[in-house]
Structure 1
Protein backbone atom coordinates (compact mmCIF):
# COMPACT_ATOMS: atom_id res chain seq x y z
CA UNK A 1 0.00 0.00 0.00
CA UNK A 2 1.43 3.41 -0.93
CA UNK A 3 2.71 5.57 1.89
CA UNK A 4 1.33 9.14 2.27
CA UNK A 5 4.51 10.63 0.80
CA UNK A 6 4.20 8.29 -2.21
CA UNK A 7 0.65 9.44 -2.94
CA UNK A 8 1.86 13.02 -2.92
CA UNK A 9 4.38 12.43 -5.68
CA UNK A 10 3.87 14.42 -8.85
CA UNK A 11 2.01 12.36 -11.49
CA UNK A 12 3.90 13.98 -14.36
CA UNK A 13 7.25 13.17 -12.72
CA UNK A 14 6.17 9.57 -12.11
CA UNK A 15 5.08 9.17 -15.74
CA UNK A 16 8.44 10.54 -16.89
CA UNK A 17 10.28 8.17 -14.55
CA UNK A 18 8.28 5.19 -15.86
CA UNK A 19 9.19 6.07 -19.45
CA UNK A 20 12.89 6.29 -18.64
CA UNK A 21 12.89 3.10 -16.58
CA UNK A 22 11.22 1.18 -19.41
CA UNK A 23 13.66 2.64 -21.94
CA UNK A 24 16.58 1.52 -19.77
CA UNK A 25 15.20 -2.02 -19.44
CA UNK A 26 14.62 -2.22 -23.20
CA UNK A 27 18.15 -0.95 -23.84
CA UNK A 28 19.64 -3.66 -21.62
CA UNK A 29 17.53 -6.25 -23.45
CA UNK A 30 18.83 -5.10 -26.84
CA UNK A 31 22.36 -5.32 -25.42
CA UNK A 32 21.71 -8.94 -24.43
CA UNK A 33 22.13 -8.31 -20.69
CA UNK A 34 18.62 -9.56 -19.86
CA UNK A 35 16.36 -11.97 -21.71
CA UNK A 36 12.80 -11.46 -22.99
CA UNK A 37 11.18 -13.05 -19.94
CA UNK A 38 13.10 -10.82 -17.54
CA UNK A 39 12.33 -7.74 -19.63
CA UNK A 40 8.62 -8.54 -19.49
CA UNK A 41 8.75 -8.92 -15.72
CA UNK A 42 10.59 -5.64 -15.22
CA UNK A 43 8.19 -3.71 -17.46
CA UNK A 44 5.22 -5.11 -15.55
CA UNK A 45 6.83 -4.09 -12.26
CA UNK A 46 7.48 -0.58 -13.58
CA UNK A 47 3.91 -0.16 -14.81
CA UNK A 48 2.44 -1.51 -11.55
CA UNK A 49 4.62 0.72 -9.36
CA UNK A 50 2.80 3.53 -7.59
CA UNK A 51 5.88 5.33 -6.28
CA UNK A 52 9.28 6.38 -7.59
CA UNK A 53 11.06 4.11 -5.11
CA UNK A 54 9.30 1.04 -6.54
CA UNK A 55 10.11 2.08 -10.11
CA UNK A 56 13.80 2.55 -9.33
CA UNK A 57 13.94 -0.78 -7.47
CA UNK A 58 12.93 -2.53 -10.71
CA UNK A 59 15.96 -1.21 -12.61
CA UNK A 60 18.64 -0.43 -10.01
CA UNK A 61 20.92 -3.26 -11.17
CA UNK A 62 20.64 -2.06 -14.78
CA UNK A 63 22.11 1.39 -14.14
CA UNK A 64 25.52 2.28 -15.56
CA UNK A 65 28.37 1.62 -13.08
CA UNK A 66 28.87 4.69 -10.96
CA UNK A 67 25.33 6.00 -11.55
CA UNK A 68 23.38 6.40 -8.33
CA UNK A 69 19.62 6.06 -7.99
CA UNK A 70 19.52 9.74 -7.04
CA UNK A 71 21.08 10.65 -10.39
CA UNK A 72 18.53 8.51 -12.22
CA UNK A 73 15.71 10.22 -10.33
CA UNK A 74 17.01 13.60 -11.54
CA UNK A 75 17.71 13.10 -15.27
CA UNK A 76 18.92 16.62 -16.10
CA UNK A 77 20.58 15.50 -19.34
CA UNK A 78 17.48 13.78 -20.74
CA UNK A 79 15.24 16.66 -19.83
CA UNK A 80 17.59 19.06 -21.60
CA UNK A 81 17.46 16.86 -24.70
CA UNK A 82 13.69 16.79 -24.67
CA UNK A 83 13.77 20.57 -24.37
CA UNK A 84 15.48 20.72 -27.77
CA UNK A 85 12.63 18.90 -29.54
CA UNK A 86 12.54 20.05 -33.19
CA UNK A 87 9.25 21.29 -34.58
CA UNK A 88 9.43 19.40 -37.88
CA UNK A 89 11.19 16.38 -39.38
CA UNK A 90 10.99 14.54 -42.69
CA UNK A 91 11.45 10.83 -43.37
CA UNK A 92 11.84 9.76 -47.01
CA UNK A 93 12.11 6.30 -48.60
CA UNK A 94 12.02 5.31 -52.28
CA UNK A 95 12.91 1.73 -53.17
CA UNK A 96 14.77 1.45 -49.86
CA UNK A 97 14.28 1.37 -46.09
CA UNK A 98 14.16 4.43 -43.83
CA UNK A 99 14.66 3.85 -40.11
CA UNK A 100 14.34 5.93 -36.99
CA UNK A 101 15.33 3.89 -33.97
CA UNK A 102 17.50 3.82 -30.89
CA UNK A 103 17.97 6.99 -28.84
CA UNK A 104 16.41 9.78 -30.92
CA UNK A 105 14.27 12.88 -30.47
CA UNK A 106 11.09 12.87 -32.58
CA UNK A 107 9.86 16.23 -33.81
CA UNK A 108 6.47 17.60 -32.87
CA UNK A 109 5.47 17.02 -36.52
CA UNK A 110 7.00 14.38 -38.78
CA UNK A 111 6.16 13.97 -42.46
CA UNK A 112 6.80 10.50 -43.86
CA UNK A 113 7.00 10.23 -47.66
CA UNK A 114 7.65 6.76 -49.05
CA UNK A 115 7.16 4.96 -52.36
CA UNK A 116 7.97 1.28 -52.93
CA UNK A 117 9.94 1.11 -49.72
CA UNK A 118 9.81 0.39 -46.02
CA UNK A 119 9.62 2.74 -43.05
CA UNK A 120 10.40 1.70 -39.48
CA UNK A 121 9.62 4.15 -36.68
CA UNK A 122 10.80 2.69 -33.38
CA UNK A 123 9.75 4.85 -30.43
CA UNK A 124 10.68 2.29 -27.76
CA UNK A 125 13.80 4.27 -26.72
CA UNK A 126 12.89 7.65 -28.21
CA UNK A 127 12.84 10.79 -26.07
CA UNK A 128 9.22 11.78 -26.64
CA UNK A 129 7.89 15.10 -25.46
CA UNK A 130 4.75 15.30 -23.38
CA UNK A 131 1.66 15.97 -25.50
CA UNK A 132 0.99 15.34 -29.18
CA UNK A 133 3.63 14.04 -31.58
CA UNK A 134 2.02 14.13 -35.04
CA UNK A 135 3.05 11.89 -37.93
CA UNK A 136 1.74 12.65 -41.43
CA UNK A 137 1.98 9.54 -43.62
CA UNK A 138 2.14 9.99 -47.39
CA UNK A 139 3.05 6.45 -48.42
CA UNK A 140 2.32 4.29 -51.47
CA UNK A 141 3.22 0.63 -52.01
CA UNK A 142 5.08 0.78 -48.73
CA UNK A 143 5.26 -1.13 -45.46
CA UNK A 144 5.23 1.13 -42.40
CA UNK A 145 6.07 -0.39 -39.03
CA UNK A 146 5.71 1.48 -35.75
CA UNK A 147 6.97 0.24 -32.37
CA UNK A 148 5.89 2.01 -29.18
CA UNK A 149 6.68 1.58 -25.47
CA UNK A 150 3.88 0.41 -23.14
CA UNK A 151 3.04 3.82 -21.68
CA UNK A 152 2.56 5.72 -24.96
CA UNK A 153 -0.92 6.23 -26.39
CA UNK A 154 -1.55 6.08 -30.14
CA UNK A 155 -4.35 7.46 -32.28
CA UNK A 156 -4.56 6.55 -35.96
CA UNK A 157 -6.58 8.83 -38.25
CA UNK A 158 -4.85 7.60 -41.40
CA UNK A 159 -6.87 6.93 -44.56
CA UNK A 160 -6.23 3.59 -46.28
CA UNK A 161 -6.80 2.77 -49.95
CA UNK A 162 -6.26 -0.85 -51.01
CA UNK A 163 -4.14 -1.41 -47.96
CA UNK A 164 -4.41 -2.40 -44.30
CA UNK A 165 -3.86 -1.12 -40.78
CA UNK A 166 -2.94 -3.43 -37.92
CA UNK A 167 -2.96 -1.86 -34.45
CA UNK A 168 -2.10 -3.77 -31.30
CA UNK A 169 -5.39 -3.77 -29.30
CA UNK A 170 -3.51 -3.36 -26.01
CA UNK A 171 -2.32 0.13 -27.01
CA UNK A 172 -4.22 3.01 -25.41
CA UNK A 173 -5.88 5.63 -27.59
CA UNK A 174 -5.82 8.38 -24.99
CA UNK A 175 -2.84 9.40 -22.82
CA UNK A 176 -2.92 9.79 -19.07
CA UNK A 177 -1.67 12.95 -17.39
CA UNK A 178 1.94 13.73 -18.22
CA UNK A 179 2.36 11.16 -20.98
CA UNK A 180 2.84 11.57 -24.75
CA UNK A 181 0.54 10.50 -27.57
CA UNK A 182 1.42 9.64 -31.17
CA UNK A 183 -1.18 10.81 -33.68
CA UNK A 184 -0.99 9.39 -37.21
CA UNK A 185 -2.68 11.10 -40.14
CA UNK A 186 -2.26 11.21 -43.92
CA UNK A 187 -2.85 8.20 -46.16
CA UNK A 188 -1.60 4.72 -47.02
CA UNK A 189 -2.13 3.48 -50.58
CA UNK A 190 -1.40 -0.13 -51.55
CA UNK A 191 0.52 -0.54 -48.34
CA UNK A 192 0.38 -1.55 -44.70
CA UNK A 193 0.63 0.24 -41.37
CA UNK A 194 1.43 -1.89 -38.33
CA UNK A 195 1.58 -0.43 -34.84
CA UNK A 196 2.79 -2.72 -32.04
CA UNK A 197 3.88 -2.40 -28.45
CA UNK A 198 7.46 -3.38 -27.75
CA UNK A 199 6.22 -5.70 -24.99
CA UNK A 200 4.13 -7.73 -27.45
CA UNK A 201 7.06 -7.98 -29.85
CA UNK A 202 9.26 -9.26 -27.04
CA UNK A 203 6.64 -11.85 -26.08
CA UNK A 204 6.45 -13.09 -29.66
CA UNK A 205 10.23 -13.35 -29.87
CA UNK A 206 10.27 -15.26 -26.59
CA UNK A 207 7.52 -17.63 -27.80
CA UNK A 208 9.42 -18.34 -31.02
CA UNK A 209 12.59 -19.07 -29.02
CA UNK A 210 10.69 -21.58 -26.86
CA UNK A 211 9.25 -23.30 -29.93
CA UNK A 212 12.78 -23.52 -31.35
Structure 2
Protein backbone atom coordinates (compact mmCIF):
# COMPACT_ATOMS: atom_id res chain seq x y z
CA UNK A 1 0.00 0.00 0.00
CA UNK A 2 1.48 3.37 -0.98
CA UNK A 3 1.41 6.67 0.89
CA UNK A 4 -0.77 8.08 -1.92
CA UNK A 5 -3.38 5.41 -1.15
CA UNK A 6 -3.35 6.34 2.53
CA UNK A 7 -3.49 10.11 1.80
CA UNK A 8 -6.39 9.57 -0.58
CA UNK A 9 -8.25 7.56 2.06
CA UNK A 10 -7.69 10.26 4.71
CA UNK A 11 -8.95 12.90 2.26
CA UNK A 12 -12.05 10.82 1.54
CA UNK A 13 -12.86 10.46 5.28
CA UNK A 14 -12.42 14.21 5.80
CA UNK A 15 -14.65 15.01 2.82
CA UNK A 16 -17.37 12.70 4.14
CA UNK A 17 -17.23 14.57 7.47
CA UNK A 18 -17.19 18.01 5.81
CA UNK A 19 -20.21 17.07 3.67
CA UNK A 20 -22.10 15.99 6.80
CA UNK A 21 -22.27 12.28 5.96
CA UNK A 22 -20.59 11.18 9.20
CA UNK A 23 -20.35 12.59 12.73
CA UNK A 24 -17.11 13.77 14.33
CA UNK A 25 -16.75 10.57 16.38
CA UNK A 26 -17.20 8.45 13.26
CA UNK A 27 -14.57 10.49 11.47
CA UNK A 28 -12.09 9.81 14.28
CA UNK A 29 -12.94 6.10 14.12
CA UNK A 30 -12.45 5.93 10.34
CA UNK A 31 -9.21 7.92 10.49
CA UNK A 32 -7.82 5.58 13.15
CA UNK A 33 -8.65 2.57 10.97
CA UNK A 34 -7.17 4.18 7.84
CA UNK A 35 -3.94 5.14 9.59
CA UNK A 36 -3.60 1.68 11.14
CA UNK A 37 -4.29 -0.18 7.87
CA UNK A 38 -1.40 -2.16 6.44
CA UNK A 39 -3.14 -3.78 3.45
CA UNK A 40 -5.52 -2.63 0.73
CA UNK A 41 -8.21 -4.92 2.20
CA UNK A 42 -8.03 -3.17 5.58
CA UNK A 43 -8.12 0.21 3.86
CA UNK A 44 -11.15 -0.78 1.78
CA UNK A 45 -12.94 -2.07 4.87
CA UNK A 46 -12.35 1.26 6.63
CA UNK A 47 -13.83 3.17 3.67
CA UNK A 48 -16.79 0.88 2.80
CA UNK A 49 -19.34 2.62 5.07
CA UNK A 50 -18.60 6.01 3.47
CA UNK A 51 -20.54 7.37 0.48
CA UNK A 52 -19.00 6.78 -2.95
CA UNK A 53 -16.15 9.09 -3.90
CA UNK A 54 -16.79 11.85 -6.43
CA UNK A 55 -14.81 10.81 -9.53
CA UNK A 56 -14.26 14.44 -10.46
CA UNK A 57 -14.85 16.11 -13.75
CA UNK A 58 -13.46 15.53 -17.21
CA UNK A 59 -13.02 18.32 -19.73
CA UNK A 60 -11.65 18.39 -23.26
CA UNK A 61 -9.88 21.27 -24.94
CA UNK A 62 -9.61 20.65 -28.67
CA UNK A 63 -8.52 22.53 -31.76
CA UNK A 64 -7.89 21.30 -35.28
CA UNK A 65 -5.53 24.19 -35.96
CA UNK A 66 -4.45 27.33 -34.17
CA UNK A 67 -3.58 27.85 -30.53
CA UNK A 68 -4.84 26.38 -27.30
CA UNK A 69 -4.12 28.68 -24.39
CA UNK A 70 -5.16 28.65 -20.72
CA UNK A 71 -3.68 30.89 -18.03
CA UNK A 72 -4.62 32.86 -14.96
CA UNK A 73 -7.10 31.65 -12.34
CA UNK A 74 -8.90 28.87 -14.20
CA UNK A 75 -10.35 25.73 -12.57
CA UNK A 76 -8.51 22.55 -13.54
CA UNK A 77 -10.77 19.48 -13.86
CA UNK A 78 -9.79 16.08 -12.44
CA UNK A 79 -9.07 14.83 -16.00
CA UNK A 80 -8.08 17.29 -18.72
CA UNK A 81 -7.89 16.08 -22.32
CA UNK A 82 -5.95 18.31 -24.69
CA UNK A 83 -6.32 17.52 -28.40
CA UNK A 84 -4.64 19.49 -31.17
CA UNK A 85 -3.90 18.40 -34.74
CA UNK A 86 -1.85 21.45 -35.76
CA UNK A 87 -0.85 24.39 -33.64
CA UNK A 88 0.64 25.47 -30.38
CA UNK A 89 -0.49 24.55 -26.87
CA UNK A 90 0.18 26.76 -23.84
CA UNK A 91 -1.18 25.72 -20.45
CA UNK A 92 -0.27 27.66 -17.32
CA UNK A 93 -1.38 25.93 -14.12
CA UNK A 94 0.72 28.15 -11.82
CA UNK A 95 -2.27 30.27 -10.71
CA UNK A 96 -4.99 27.78 -11.61
CA UNK A 97 -7.43 26.44 -9.03
CA UNK A 98 -6.60 22.76 -8.49
CA UNK A 99 -9.26 21.06 -6.34
CA UNK A 100 -8.00 17.50 -6.66
CA UNK A 101 -4.85 15.94 -5.18
CA UNK A 102 -4.21 14.18 -8.50
CA UNK A 103 -4.84 15.70 -11.92
CA UNK A 104 -4.52 13.64 -15.10
CA UNK A 105 -3.66 15.51 -18.29
CA UNK A 106 -4.09 13.42 -21.44
CA UNK A 107 -2.30 14.91 -24.45
CA UNK A 108 -3.09 14.03 -28.03
CA UNK A 109 -0.98 16.41 -30.10
CA UNK A 110 -0.13 16.12 -33.79
CA UNK A 111 2.34 18.83 -34.81
CA UNK A 112 3.39 21.96 -33.00
CA UNK A 113 5.09 22.71 -29.72
CA UNK A 114 3.48 22.51 -26.30
CA UNK A 115 4.52 24.40 -23.18
CA UNK A 116 3.02 23.59 -19.80
CA UNK A 117 3.79 25.46 -16.57
CA UNK A 118 2.90 23.59 -13.38
CA UNK A 119 2.77 24.98 -9.82
CA UNK A 120 6.12 25.36 -8.11
CA UNK A 121 5.55 22.53 -5.64
CA UNK A 122 3.72 20.11 -7.98
CA UNK A 123 4.80 16.51 -8.34
CA UNK A 124 4.95 15.69 -12.05
CA UNK A 125 4.73 12.20 -13.58
CA UNK A 126 5.49 11.75 -17.28
CA UNK A 127 5.90 7.96 -17.52
CA UNK A 128 2.69 7.52 -19.54
CA UNK A 129 3.73 10.01 -22.22
CA UNK A 130 5.22 9.11 -25.60
CA UNK A 131 6.95 11.56 -27.90
CA UNK A 132 7.52 11.11 -31.61
CA UNK A 133 9.89 13.49 -33.32
CA UNK A 134 11.46 15.43 -30.44
CA UNK A 135 12.10 14.66 -26.80
CA UNK A 136 10.32 15.88 -23.73
CA UNK A 137 12.02 18.70 -21.84
CA UNK A 138 11.38 18.45 -18.13
CA UNK A 139 13.59 18.82 -15.08
CA UNK A 140 12.02 17.39 -11.92
CA UNK A 141 12.21 19.24 -8.63
CA UNK A 142 11.58 18.23 -5.05
CA UNK A 143 8.15 19.11 -3.64
CA UNK A 144 8.33 21.90 -1.09
CA UNK A 145 5.31 20.93 0.99
CA UNK A 146 3.38 17.80 1.88
CA UNK A 147 0.13 17.38 0.02
CA UNK A 148 1.44 19.07 -3.13
CA UNK A 149 -0.71 18.42 -6.21
CA UNK A 150 0.32 15.45 -8.35
CA UNK A 151 0.02 16.03 -12.09
CA UNK A 152 0.19 12.95 -14.32
CA UNK A 153 0.77 13.33 -18.04
CA UNK A 154 -0.25 10.61 -20.50
CA UNK A 155 -0.84 10.43 -24.22
CA UNK A 156 1.21 11.08 -27.31
CA UNK A 157 2.99 13.95 -29.01
CA UNK A 158 3.78 13.64 -32.73
CA UNK A 159 6.04 16.25 -34.32
CA UNK A 160 6.96 19.01 -31.92
CA UNK A 161 8.50 19.54 -28.53
CA UNK A 162 6.81 19.34 -25.15
CA UNK A 163 8.30 21.52 -22.45
CA UNK A 164 7.08 21.18 -18.85
CA UNK A 165 8.45 23.56 -16.26
CA UNK A 166 7.73 24.56 -12.67
CA UNK A 167 6.60 28.11 -11.93
CA UNK A 168 9.04 30.37 -10.11
CA UNK A 169 6.50 31.44 -7.51
TM-score by length of 2: 0.61
More strand as a share of residues: 2
How does 1:49-60 map onto structure 2 within 5 Å? none
How does 1:58-207 map onto structure 2 within 5 Å? 87-156=57-126, 157-167=128-138, 169-172=139-142, 177-199=146-168
Q: Give, in whole Å, the separation in 1 of the partners of 2:89 and 2:117.
A: 11
Residue 149 of structure 1 and its aligned partner are, at CA, apart by 2.1
Q: Show structure 1 runs of 4+ deviating over 3 A.
A: 174-177
Q: Give, in whole Å, the separation in 2 of the partners of 1:170 and 1:160.
A: 18
More helix as a share of residues: 1
SS at match of 1:178: coil
SS at match of 1:154: strand
Contact 2:108 2:155 in 1 (8 A): yes
How does 1:8-87 map onto structure 2 within 5 Å? 87=57
SS at match of 2:77: coil
Residue 197 of structure 1 and its aligned partner are, at CA, apart by 1.6
Root-mean-square deviation (CA), in Å? 2.5
Count of aligned positions:
116
Contact 1:86 1:106 in 2 (8 A): no
Residue 191 of structure 1 and its aligned partner are, at CA, apart by 1.6
Q: Give, in whole Å, the separation in 2 of the partners of 1:185 and 1:191.
A: 16
TM-score by length of 1: 0.50
In the alignment, which residue of structure 2 is the partner of 1:74? none
